[in-house]
């Protein structure tokens, strides 16, 4: 056995940590004594793709961790040949299985993955959208290109295989709509085995106005339909269930239409929406944001709301904010990434940790989609002044 002096061990440790930092490989970043696990399921250039964007994440007890992303072949923007990619982890994000392609429509754009599970039968639903590869968001909004269509696929084996994608456009979009986005991120299951609903938060454009709404299924995904418009001048919504069973939608406010995130509520499982009461919106930093409800460990139903987004409008420094009073105040925050960053996705794993995907890099925002794991208790130690 080779023995090292304390000085040698310190030097070796510093060398290893510096190497991992420079290369951007899997490491643990220690912040205020709390280990944050960082690994990289998607790195620019992997599997022949230029970059990866728009993450979504899912897991459940005794299930693998699934990381989804847009795999962009040749362009950085949302145009051209783009597939929906998946990597699975069987050790809570420490290592990742080889990349799978869930949706590929040739030269067309497939994007905005949004995932939801039906716990009554275990089926995992993944919604996404499809646009002509020759079009851009701007030309689709202007209706000088064919509109975006909405699709769905499902898996009954925890993401190992997927059904042929099904076009939902006949019942889930209007002919006057142009651009369309599902999520991105997580959908919701509400109710119980007798009466239940699957909900996918989505957005669309009509004319040049962006609006949010939801897709609803009351028959375990056999059919899907539209809920009412939730809010004007909004996009990229996420929805959580509140303590009284109502829903709160947290949506991105379109640039120039407000300085705060848009919050609306529903008391009929996403059919209709009204302005939220007694909920404080966070600042709008001109980027998608992710909101998630997470139960507190060791309690009987007590929960926190966690919101992740770049902490500045120049898309740097992803922050996790926490509210312990159903969104009335947001007194706690911790930094998850200090460099260039953008979209995030979040879920709680069965070990009680918060699992997050972050678009980020050291010099460029789209160098990678990193996996970050932390505890909400750690976020609660970051009292804001």
pLDDT over 90 at 23, yes or no: no
Per-residue b or e along 86-113, where b marks 16 or more CB atoms closer than 10 Å to that residue's CB: bbbbeebbeebeebbebbebeebbbbbb
Confidence category of residue 36, pLDDT binned at 50, 70, 90: confident
Instruction: Say what percent of the chain tops pLDDT 70.
Output: 91
Mean pLDDT lowest for which of 17-26, 98-107, 247-256, 326-335? 17-26
The pair of structure tokens assigned to 335 is: 């930094």
Please indicate whether residue 100 or residue 300 has the higher confidence score (pLDDT).
Answer: 100
Residue 283 predicted with pLDDT over 70: yes
- Identify the helix (H) or strand (E) that includes residue 141: helix 137-141
Alpha carbons 8 and 351: distance in angstroms, whole number? 35
The whole-angstrom separation of Cα 222 and Cα 8 is 63
Both tokens of 354, joined, read: 């918060």
Distance between CA 256 and CA 97 in Å, rounded?
A: 42
Q: What is the mean pLDDT of residues 226-247?
A: 97
Mean pLDDT of 126-153: 98
Mean pLDDT of all residues belonging to the chain: 92
Distance CA 256, CA 224 (A): 33
Q: Is the pLDDT of residue 18 over 60?
A: no
Instruction: Provide mean pLDDT across the span 360-381.
Output: 96
Looking at domain 36-380, its CATH class is mainly beta
Question: What's the confidence (pLDDT) of residue 225?
Answer: 98
Percentage of residues of the chain with pLDDT beyond 90: 87
Task: Determine contact, residues 307/282, Cβ cutoff 8 Å.
Answer: yes
Token pair 């793709």 is at which residue? 49
- pLDDT above 80 (res 263): yes
pLDDT at 33 over 80: no
Residue 54 pLDDT:
98
> Which pLDDT tens digit goes with each residue over 64-84?
999 999 999 999 999 999 999
pLDDT per position as a tens digit, 99-127: 999 999 999 999 999 999 999 999 999 99
- Domain-wise residue ranges, the chain: 36-380
Q: Are 299 and 324 in contact (CB under 8 A)?
A: no
Picking from 12-21, 100-109, 144-153, 240-249, which range would have the lowest pLDDT averaged per residue?
A: 12-21
For range 216-239, the mean pLDDT: 98
Mean pLDDT of 356-375: 97
Residue 2 has pLDDT above 90, yes or no: no
pLDDT at 1 over 50: no
Whether 15 has a pLDDT exceeding 90, the answer reads no
pLDDT band at 138 (very low <50, low <70, confident <90, very high): very high
């Amino acid at each position: 056995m080779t023995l090292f002096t304390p000085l040698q061990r310190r030097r070796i440790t510093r060398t290893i940590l510096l190497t991992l930092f420079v290369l951007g490989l899997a490491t643990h970043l220690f912040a205020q004594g709390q280990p944050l696990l960082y690994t990289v399921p998607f790195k620019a250039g992997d599997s022949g793709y230029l970059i990866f964007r728009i993450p979504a994440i899912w897991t459940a007890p005794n299930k693998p961790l699934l990381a989804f992303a847009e795999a962009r072949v040749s362009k950085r923007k949302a145009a051209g040949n783009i597939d929906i990619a998946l990597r699975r982890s069987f050790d809570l994000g420490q290592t990742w299985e080889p990349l799978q392609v869930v949706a590929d429509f040739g030269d067309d754009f497939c994007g905005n993955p949004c995932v939801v599970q039906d716990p009554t039968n275990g089926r995992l639903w993944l919604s996404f959208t499809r646009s002509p590869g020759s079009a851009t968001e701007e030309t689709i909004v202007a209706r000088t290109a064919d509109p975006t269509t909405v699709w769905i696929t499902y898996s009954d084996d925890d993401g190992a295989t997927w059904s042929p994608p099904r076009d939902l456009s006949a019942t889930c979009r209007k002919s006057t709509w142009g651009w369309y986005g599902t999520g991105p991120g997580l959908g919701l299951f509400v109710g119980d085995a007798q009466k239940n609903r699957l909900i996918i938060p989505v957005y669309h454009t009509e004319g040049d106005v962006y609006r949010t709404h939801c897709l609803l299924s009351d028959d375990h995904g056999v059919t899907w339909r539209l809920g009412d418009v939730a809010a004007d001048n909004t996009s990229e919504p996420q929805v959580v269930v509140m303590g009284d069973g109502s829903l709160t939608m947290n949506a991105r406010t379109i640039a120039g239409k407000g300085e705060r995130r848009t919050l609306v509520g529903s008391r009929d499982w996403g059919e209709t929406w009204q302005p939220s009461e007694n909920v404080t919106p966070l600042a709008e930093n001109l980027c998608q944001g992710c909101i998630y409800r997470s139960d507190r460990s060791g309690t009987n139903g007590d929960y926190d709301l966690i919101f992740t987004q770049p902490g500045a409008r120049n898309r740097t420094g992803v922050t996790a904010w926490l509210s312990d009073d159903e969104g009335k105040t947001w007194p706690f925050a911790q930094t998850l990434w200090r460099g260039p960053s953008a979209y995030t996705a979040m879920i709680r794993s069965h070990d009680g940790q918060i699992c997050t995907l972050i678009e980020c890099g050291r010099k460029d925002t789209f160098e990678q989609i990193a996996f970050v794991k932390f505890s909400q208790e750690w976020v609660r130690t970051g009292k804001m002044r």
